[in-house]
Structure 1
Amino acid sequence: MAGGGFAKLPGGSVVVALSLPSPPGGSGAPGARVRVLVHAVNRQRALTRLRNLGLRAVYLRGNTEPPTPDEITAVLHHPDGLVWRAAPEDDTESWHPIRSLLRKPAGSGASGG
């Protein structure tokens, strides 16, 4: 089960933070966890954004690991409003766009001609 939480912002939108297993083919070692942050108009929309990217079994049950103020700042300053980091406790690691986590390994796609 994913650990996570949310923070409601003064404008009415929310930032949802989830700690998820690193997807197969994604960055990180097998069994590693990543912290994913999503900015959306509400919690359901945030989870829908993740599901639309292929993370189908993502649920938020409770508010045990809400986003920190630094995490909120990071996701609000990203143009997509959707970022991740492999080592949530390591403040020296940068936040990455979600596409880099979900991209297929080199050589697994069809080549264009």
Structure 2
Amino acid sequence: MVALSLPRPDGGSRRVRVLVHAVNRQRALTRLRNLGLRSVYLRGNTQPPTPDEITAVLHHPDGLVWRAAPEDDTESWHPITALLRPAAHT
């Protein structure tokens, strides 16, 4: 399980917390790069996953979840596809 803080792919100013269920850090990185997040690098482990985050990612079918406000326990975890899809323009 790897937890990362990444810039939003849509260029937003806020960062998002991404959790990846993988055998090791390199495989987590590969999973993210395969989804199009090419500029992701794993440097250290400054914010390891909490027990609640581990539970969230283990119970998600894709094993990849994110949320915009990591410090807000009331925000739900979202599937990674919700972060990567283009924003709807009206």
- TM-score interval, normalised by the smaller of the two chains: over 0.9
Aligned pairs (5 A) from 1:14-93: 15-24=1-10, 30-93=12-75
Q: Identify unmatched segments of 5+ residues in structure 2.
A: none
> What is the TM-score with the length of structure 1 in the denominator?
0.75
Q: What amino acid is aligned across from residue 19 of structure 1 in structure 2?
A: S
**Deviation readout 1:59-80 (Å, 9 max, x if unpaired):** 1111111001100000000000
Q: What amino acid is aligned across from residue 101 of structure 1 in structure 2?
A: L
> What is the TM-score with the length of structure 2 in the denominator?
0.93
Aligned residues with identical type, % of pairs: 85
SS in 1 for 2:21: strand
More strand by share: 1
Bigger mean CA offset, 86-95 vs 51-60: 51-60
More helix by share: 2
Q: How many equivalent residue pairs?
A: 89
Cα offset, 1:106, TM superposition: 2.7
SS in 1 for 2:57: helix
